[in-house]
Amino acid sequence: IDDQVSGFWSWLFVLSKLPELCDTIFVVLRKKPLIFLHWYHHITVLMYSWFSYMEFTSSARWFIVMNYFVHSMMYSYYAISAMGYRFPKSVSMFITASQLIQMLAGCFINYTTYSYLKSGGQQSCRVSQTNVTVSALMYFSYLLLFARFFYNAYFSKSKKLSKQH
C-alpha cells in the first residue's frame, strides 16, 4: 500500500481478525449454539483480509472502514451487555440491520469495481479479477446469511435465533 496511513490501518484490520476468533471461543465457553453464520463469517473474513492485504486491494479500504464502523457498535454492545446492562431489543436489531447494510454496500462496491475493471480501468485500479470475484461471492453469501439471520431473529414466529445475538 503506497499510503502509509492506509497501510497502517489496513494492517491493524488484518490483525484484528485474529482476536475476533475469540468471539467464537466465548460462544462455545458460554455453551451457546455456534451458528454457521458466525464461524463461516469469521474464517472467511480472516482469509480474505490477508489475501487482500497481500494484494494491496484498493476496494478493500472501503470494506475496512465499513467493518470498523459496524464492529465499533457491535463490540461496544457486547462489552456493555457483558457488564449486565440489558439493552432494548431495538438496539440489537439496529446493529444487525447495520451489518446487513454493510453486506449490501459490499455487494455494491464489488459490482462497481467489477464494472470499472471491465471498462478498462485495470491500470488505475489496484484490484485483481480474482479478488473481485472472491469478494463478490463472499459478500453475497454474507448478505444472504445475514438477511436470514435478521429475519429469523426479529420477524420469524420461532424466535430461536434471537437469543443468540
Amino acid in the structure at residue 116: Y
Looking at residue 95, what is its pLDDT? 98
- Find the mean pLDDT for residues 136-148: 98
pLDDT at 54 over 60: yes
Options 41, 42, 71, 165, the catalytic residue: 41
Q: How many CB atoms lie within 10 A of CB 8?
A: 11
Higher per-residue confidence, 156 vs 125: 156
For residue 103, the tally of other CB atoms under 10 A from its CB is 23
Closest among 64, 38, 39, 60 to 51, alpha carbons compared: 60
Active site residue 71: no
Which whole number is the average pLDDT over 86-94?
97
What global pTM score does this model have? 0.85
Residue 162: per-residue pLDDT: 47
Query: How many residues are there in the chain?
Result: 165
Mean residue pLDDT of the chain comes to 89
pLDDT band at 122 (very low <50, low <70, confident <90, very high): low
Alpha helices in 56-88 (DSSP H): 60-82
Helix, strand or coil for residue 3? coil
Distance CA 154, CA 159 (A): 7
Among residues 69, 37, 25, the alpha carbon closest in space to that of 153 is found at: 37
> For residue 127, is pLDDT > 90?
no
What percent of the chain has a predicted confidence (pLDDT) above 90? 58
- Rounded Cα gap, residues 42 and 48, in angstroms: 10
